[in-house]
Amino acid sequence: MLDAINAVDWGAIPGHPDWYEPARAERGLRALADAANLVEAAEASSLLGGGGIVHGHSAAVFPAAAVATPLLLDIAQQGHPAARDAALGMVGEALSSYPHGEYTRVATSFGTAVPICCAIAHQLRTRSAFLVGLGKRGRALLADAAKHWRFEIRECVADSNDTAAFGALVGCFPSGVHAAELHVGGEIAVLDEVALEYPPVDGSVEACLRVTGWRPAGLPPGAVLFPAECGERVH
């Protein structure tokens, strides 16, 4: 774990200049990885929560949180029980906090400008089996992550003035009509009315969304949708 923490250039990750302290991110993660009791875990959390990955006093989250999340989940899986609880607490705080100003998005394998919360939610979903095994607390984190859904378009069909978009849905698309961000080739557009036409079944991720007022040409295969409210999360 320490090698993975040290491999990150925390100073190169952008963040609010008055709040983000890269040294706290690195020191906090190292301390939490080594923590062997409640006091040490609490001291590490204080570093991470006081400018390392979030600024707890301001309820602000930094892009560093998205980079730190898989490391925190590694600590939760491999570290002391006190470190596990502290690591999960930090991930939960980062997921629920708000980015500030221009520091709201990160590059991931599924997008170049993904909202921080959606990037954290993705990392939580990759550890679903571990989190479910933790019981109520793990399931609660996964339930929070599910609100930050993601849909990758594979094929579209015109349906009157709307488009039926078929693809892979992770997370839970809420009932009703919602705005969504459309990410295509590094560009972002807002779809004002998107609804779940057919949900995934039997453990599959295959689903269909109805996009009102858009034609298939504007929704190419490989385009990715995120909740518009996640893109709007900002102090």
Q: Of all residues in the chain, what percent carry a pLDDT higher than 70?
A: 100
Q: Where are the alpha helices (DSSP H) in the chain?
A: 2-6, 22-34, 38-49, 64-78, 81-96, 116-125, 128-133, 136-146, 228-231
pLDDT at 1 over 80: no
Which DSSP letter does residue 56 get?
Answer: G
pLDDT at 235 over 70: no
The pLDDT value recorded for residue 173 is: 97
Beta bridge partners of 153: 167
Give the tens place of pLDDT for each residue, 138-163: 999 999 999 999 999 999 999 888 99
Nearest to 51 by CA among 89, 30, 20: 20
Q: Tell me the average pLDDT of the chain.
A: 95
The pLDDT value recorded for residue 30 is: 97
Rounded average pLDDT over 28-50: 97
